[in-house]
Structure 1
């Protein structure tokens, strides 16, 4: 039977640091929306695209990170750090889970052979890949919310023991996903003698309205493996933003089932025929590897590769220790592609079962006929784990999904408890008790209880804002204090009522003891409406006010100065106010100026001041922009403005071909 125990996993790890205290008011861009799908917005279906796929690509895409904060306070200095882990094992498999970091399965060890089935990252190094920033590579991650890596990548989940369908134990993970306001759970268990780890997943919509839903389970495996899936075609999507159907496994004379054959980073969304078993596998040169399969609800399968050119290799080094080997990802999702969101009806749920385990397919690494190679691998999978058994396991698990948890093994956030308290929802199997409410939820609990949002008791950067319609309604009827006007404006901004948001911030500014948060909001509003000179002026005033108000050099105030300083510098450089930008730079804390992001800003400022040699010297001296975003090309563009020389390898993060 399954055994669950606590363990401490010690890794070289970077600290996550504090979150960015500035509310993310800037809209998310549509960089992941293919240019070829603009016709979807016009109500047309592109040639060759199924109608349901076209409909879901255009379905309620995410345009804001609110109410979530950006996690950009991490660095790249790694020291040995103890991480709380939960181990679930039988006599065949051992899975290691990090409940404090998104509930990720960081290791899946096949005990009889001693083989690690996943790519196991030897370090914990956050990087800017999640929708809200911090993310790390390796293992099996659970992505819910919207296109991209989940906001919970580096966040704690609730975890507890629960009785399994076979009488053993399950490890339940659950949380409240805040972008779509949806609770979800993942139940992990290992039947006695099973070579496959089962994962029962459920996403619930307790609201009285439909909600767009997104789920992809991402599995990192060594990139030297061959990737197999039951498909003859795939939708290819690269960083040049073109979505096109390509044959599998080869096109342009290259077999893309070997990840290192692809030059650039790319997604391959396999077009698995209806009625075919849903599975994907990664096997090594001897035919040994990992297979993932599921019930049919989890319909999509995907391969992500980094590519073999310098940019992809640099990213691989960036996410781990150089020289430790790279990875690719095999994935499974609710839709055909990750550009889609699925409608989840009001007061309904969606659930499925996944299975992860070893696959032995000796002929798979060879160069045989693709259809036969895939069929042979599928036959091996059927022998190891029949499709009917997966369906039976799902049917046996579903009644257990409502079973109340037993021993608590880890605690997540208090946001689910706040929502349950507000709406009095009953969510069997995933309790969100009031005991989990913390300091972040305290003012909102007070608003719920008294109708008034309390003023902060001391001067500090403002807390988090809630923006859902029910919270916005409460803010609108609460006493109009400056603090309330600040939060109300953010909620109105999120709802698209930008004029009213500006009025709320302007009202709050008249009596606010702390002015810089409101001035920064108004500066963003100016930028959005194209008034860049006025935005720069407001940013400069806000930064000056923050520097006067700052009480200490602790983590919260340092994070506020870094966040506002960065935006202020960018706003001033945009309107060529270099002297004012240099004055802001000089007032930054020395520790902030030494960060890689600010070394990059210093180089941009030096160039704007007409000092290209000094700017080039900054780049030559070297720095690391810890929060560099996936696909961000700012370093390469700055280098091109300074010189015609080739971009040095340490600065080369290019993920697409050069644009004509």
Structure 2
């Protein structure tokens, strides 16, 4: 008798931090992480991919940075796929995260998960949480959608297989990505098919990495079919190394690494694409995929105080083992590359996850023997022919219409469809990935109204001269969009509103070359035009002042920029995002006294924010008042959104409290 397979939609109560409101500031600031150093020793394709396609910023996505360390029981939609061998649990409301994968034969959880979800500043939009398998698209870093709901539905195939489908419109690259997960009745692995569709008439830079958190013990070993790897360090370097002999250690045992590091295994073209992490019994997660998913990676936090502190920070579970490592699979050889996805094309591949179940003696032996044994067990678990068959099934099912909707994602996909229809631009067949009109919310409403107000005016290509008179002024929006067509609509006709002028300035700012003073001079002029309008709302006036300040600093007028940021704080004193940014830039450019003056004028609710307290201490130190800075740090400062790799608190403590041991709570150094 064939074993049964089921899909159950349920509610899972998870202890979770509150994500908080999105930042009201348009994300025009450069990404915090730049390209890694590309040396002459790297192959040309890797070097070329590492130099090309980097996103300038996260616009139009807003940052997610208002979370705290407080948590409460939160009801989340969970979709459970189960048969006699495997039980998998997905969380569609949190980026489609595969949160749990249990191998029933061993009774083991193959993924690292905790009993609490805590957000921290590791993602492209800031908020990120550890655990499970995460799906990352767009550009280097944790995905813009990692802490957001995906459109989710059940698809039933003609063969009777139930498929969990999750999809969304990626606003950074303007593509649609789709995840199809299914568990055949007799399968020992869970299948996930990924498809990315590029509906644009231009090639777009593409990035994809699936990131699996795995439990780490002293006996954990990670194996992949390669003898060398590209290793990166937190000083920005990348070098070709033998992972089994890295600075005198065998780094394939995560617990032996003294500091944080990435290892991108260099798999030969003829090798199957797999990677496994095994424990003392030989059990552990196997990542297997079709050939298009080229890259394989091991990430370790490092066995030092900072590495342990980060794991405690990310997995604050009582009585739980917080130590974990990550194994990952991606489109490119390393995570510092982008690949060109041609206009109008789509890519699809299959990933499979299950217990590799290796012999622990062989897995822990010589690297050559461990790899050979791993390859044998991977083939037994899932043959190459079975991967090909799964990919063929995924292709046949990819455009099947959903039978039952489960979770609604954002309304941006629906707005994008309307934009393209109005502009007579190509779009994709939405049969398999519908963006329902019902998903449109207040965030998209002003932009939809702008389209409708200009119905029949917008043509392809978008030319400013093609736009006639707007039927009514743009009423303003709390959200942001990007694209030259939107700019043309906002600037069309003689009835441009103050809000339209602001949004146009923001869009030009987001696409401007920060290295060009001329570009930033134009941006500053656009912000001044918006500020000249008396009808500009107070919150919008603060954003315009803030944008003007950033543009002036980028163009070399630092004093003028700090003055504009100070005015932005005065316009909207309760806006903690503007205060933090203004203080950070004032201190960085040698105006610590101005930063302290900003704090004195701010309401207590803003002054009590952990980041503001730290910036106050830093400003005191830069203002020659080390004793005041030390007093703040000794009293205790908790910066909820401390950035991965940020050593600012440790460095300040050592500066203002010389000779005193750095409290463990402040030790986040990755090296």
Shorter-chain TM range is: over 0.9
**Map of 2:243 onto structure 1:** 248
**Map of 1:437 onto structure 2:** 440
Aligned length: 630
Structure 2 distance, partners of 1:456, 1:588, is: 30
**Map of 1:507 onto structure 2:** 529
**Map of 1:348 onto structure 2:** 345
From 516, 536, 544, the counterpart of 2:562: 536
RMSD, matched Cα: 1.8
From 510, 529, 536, the counterpart of 1:494: 510
Match of 1:360, SS? Answer: coil
TM-score (norm 1): 0.92
**Map of 1:470 onto structure 2:** 485
Higher relative contact order (CA 8 A, sep 6+): 1
User: How far off its partner does 1:360 sit?
Assistant: 1.0
Answer with 110-119 or 300-309: which moved more: 110-119
Answer with 620-629 or 400-409: which moved more: 620-629
User: How far off its partner does 1:373 sit?
Assistant: 1.1
* Residues 526 and 498 of structure 1: CA distance in aligned 2, closer, same or farther (over 3 Å): closer
User: How far off its partner does 1:467 sit?
Assistant: 1.4
**Match status 1:234 vs 2:229:** yes
From 520, 537, 542, the counterpart of 2:546: 520
From 647, 652, 661, the counterpart of 1:633: 647
- Contact 2:243 2:263 (C-alpha < 8 Å) held by counterparts: no
User: How far off its partner does 1:164 sit?
Assistant: 4.0
- Contact 1:127 1:134 (C-alpha < 8 Å) held by counterparts: yes
Answer with 494-503 or 90-99: which moved more: 494-503
Structure 2 distance, partners of 1:299, 1:476, is: 45
- Contact 2:415 2:440 (C-alpha < 8 Å) held by counterparts: yes
* Residues 568 and 29 of structure 1: CA distance in aligned 2, closer, same or farther (over 3 Å): closer
- Contact 1:283 1:364 (C-alpha < 8 Å) held by counterparts: no
User: How far off its partner does 1:333 sit?
Assistant: 0.3
Structure 2 distance, partners of 1:606, 1:494, is: 33
Answer with 218-227 or 421-430: which moved more: 421-430
Q: Deviations over 1:62-90 (max 9, x none)?
A: 11111111111100112222222121222
- Contact 2:278 2:363 (C-alpha < 8 Å) held by counterparts: no
- Superposition pairs of residues 139-154 of structure 1, within 5 angstroms: 139-154=132-147
Match of 2:69, SS? Answer: coil
From 39, 45, 58, the counterpart of 2:51: 58
**Map of 2:330 onto structure 1:** 333
User: How far off its partner does 1:197 sit?
Assistant: 0.3
* Residues 222 and 489 of structure 1: CA distance in aligned 2, closer, same or farther (over 3 Å): same
Structure 1 distance, partners of 2:98, 2:597, is: 47
**Map of 1:551 onto structure 2:** none
Structure 2 distance, partners of 1:144, 1:365, is: 36
**Map of 2:37 onto structure 1:** 35
User: How far off its partner does 1:366 sit?
Assistant: 5.3
TM-score (norm 2): 0.91
Structure 1 distance, partners of 2:274, 2:507, is: 42
**Map of 1:596 onto structure 2:** 610
User: How far off its partner does 1:364 sit?
Assistant: 5.4
Answer with 447-456 or 64-73: which moved more: 447-456
- Superposition pairs of residues 308-457 of structure 1, within 5 angstroms: 308-321=303-316, 324-325=320-321, 326-363=323-360, 367-424=364-421, 425=427, 426-451=429-454, 452=470, 455-456=474-475
**Map of 2:457 onto structure 1:** none
From 290, 302, 307, the counterpart of 2:285: 290
Q: Deviations over 1:112-155 (max 9, x none)?
A: 43211111122110111110110100000000010010011100
- Contact 2:221 2:364 (C-alpha < 8 Å) held by counterparts: no
Q: Deviations over 1:443-468 (max 9, x none)?
A: 111111113585558xxxx6122112
Structure 2 distance, partners of 1:530, 1:257, is: 48
**Map of 2:658 onto structure 1:** 644
- Contact 2:473 2:496 (C-alpha < 8 Å) held by counterparts: no
- Contact 1:166 1:191 (C-alpha < 8 Å) held by counterparts: no
Where structure 1 has 5 or more consecutive residues not aligned to the other structure, the ranges are 38-45, 548-557
Match of 2:565, SS? Answer: helix
User: How far off its partner does 1:176 sit?
Assistant: 0.7
